[in-house]
Structure 1
Amino acid sequence: MNWKLNFFRKNNTQPKAKKSKTREWVDALVFALVASTVIRGLLFSAYAIPSGSMEGTQLPGDYLFVSKISYGPRIAITPIAFPFTEPVVGGVKTYWGGIQLPYMRLPGFSSPQKGDIVVFNKPDEAGPEYNIPIDERTTLIKRCQATPGDVLTIINSQVYINGKPMANAPKAQTSYAVVTDGAELNPQMLADMRITVRQQFSANTFEMIIPGEQMAAFKSIANIKGVQPIVQPAGVYDAEIFPHNDHFKWNMDNYGPLKMPAKGWTIALNDSTFALYRRAIEMYENNTVDVKGKDIYINGKKASTYTFKMDYYWMMGDNRHDSLDSRFWGYVPEDHIIGKAKVTWLSTDSTKNLLNGGIRWDRLLRPIN
């Protein structure tokens, strides 16, 4: 009995082989890669704002932390990809689309809510002409306006949800027709006031996007003679606006009513509903759709109704006349949603030197709402 105890004690007290410096570095790098991949894949990621579609809530040059656990982390659909890279670098794909997993999402704290600023993959790239997996499509950031089952209407640029006006973002922007006395406006002044000149109609008439907090100061400038909001009138058809069908004479300022699809919602298929929901049925829910005369066939079977498999959302930019959003490409399916924008951790101004005003210090570590 003592012999056995001594035998085991001898083995247990043997010193472990010391790792080489190279092995220690390799282990540390592997651990860092695994940890960062888990954090980035399941907890949060960093994203940059490339355009002005969310001005003045978010600005080009803002860098954001996006929470993936808010809505539940989406499991990678394209699992074989180089981590921490864009989908395409130098014209070369950084992922392999040969393996694509079905959509799955871990539990989160909630689903996207009206008013949330949401990061998602661009639904407009769902067509076969793009051939891009869902999680490798262009990343966008917009504000959620409508959730599954909501009826959205836009009247004279005001969004209504289920018949009630939706609160506008505190720093929402739109465009104005500006009339001057013909004298040239100071470009530096416009830049300092963050005013964008979209187009010039005549020698003294412009379309400009003007932040609300700058409006009073802008109107007080001596050579400004008039400022009026630009609103496309109701009944004027815009072919660029979803569903791109002249039976729906909608435009970016007067739109709808349109009901958001919800998981389990069944619609009767007719000319109107098919025009509004065909893209979701065919592109996002992966059905084969065919039309023969007045009959609609889904997956080879004649269909008079359709039941949706996913929830859908409506996303719009706060800079309403400078945003390509759901008004142009329709609903955002739940499988395209990445997470909720939470914090602006860095903000840079590309028009200025980093050492001389290039960093917007007042926006560092700023909560997003």
Structure 2
Amino acid sequence: MSKGIAVLTAIAILILTVFLISMNTGLIHLTPMEVLRTLFGGGTDRQHLILFEFRLPRIIVSLLVGMGLAVSGCILQGITRNGLAEPGILGINAGAGLAVLIYIMYFPNMGSSPVFLLPLLAFGGAALTAIIIYLLAFKKNEGVSPFRLILTGIAMAAAIYAATVTITLQLNPEKFKFVERWNAGSIWGANWNFVLALLPWVLVLIPYAIYKARTLNVLNLGDQLAAGLGTRVEKERLRLIGVAVALAGASVAVSGSIAFIGLIAPHLARRLVGNRYEILLPTSALTGALLLIVADTLARPSEIPTGIVVAVIGAPFFLYLLARSKA
């Protein structure tokens, strides 16, 4: 536990460092002194607008999304006992994205009230996708095989992607451009309304997931042993899937389709602190936040979608894990 606290402290310091660097990074450069002066009430109106209306909301959204996707991936890896499980790979992100896309098609006015509906709509799409995947992967007298769950999720993601492309081709040029950037993983919800829309999901669900850490520890022992220890395996698994789906859906609603955070962060955290979920879940959350804020900081000067930077890191890492799983 003392090692875990030390690791958490070190990651938190790295996040704070990148946070400060990120406030200075963008198409319009602000010096560290200008940032500090603006933070403490000084600075010009232009500097105040850049920092408080554009950069700070985007940075905070990046942190929240990174935490949500990382914890979602960590839970899915725990309940499936498969290191390749991740909300993007399983199609959960795609289901959430399709729900948001349909909403954007018919309700293009993104006022303050509809913004708070987006996480709910994304959760609905993600939940429906998760239910279909779960039912297709379920076999009577066998339950859910982690291997079948992964393959079913990959197939479902491909089907949803095809539906998304079909819908996208019917959009006008302005909406088409937006959806293309969204699919690439652009942090598009970069204002305070989106921060407030996502914050309750993260503040409620991540502590609940940490509260269920002991259940995850037991589920990792296998269904039979977990049941022998008094755990209601299917009931607890469904609860945890619900938490993972809600975190992924709410995160996708404001960040676009960003993959691999839920895959990379738990693996890095596991190497740092081990497999006990009491410390693994918070370490995964901070690692995911660090990865996404670094990716967004690197992407921002050239205005490329953050998801592309994450994919450049995540795709080779996924192939590495896939090769190891076959060994």
Task: Provide the TM-score with structure 1 as the length reference.
Answer: 0.22
Greater strand proportion: 1
Greater helix proportion: 2
Task: Provide the TM-score with structure 2 as the length reference.
Answer: 0.24
Larger Cα-atom Rg: 1
Higher relative contact order (CA 8 A, sep 6+): 2
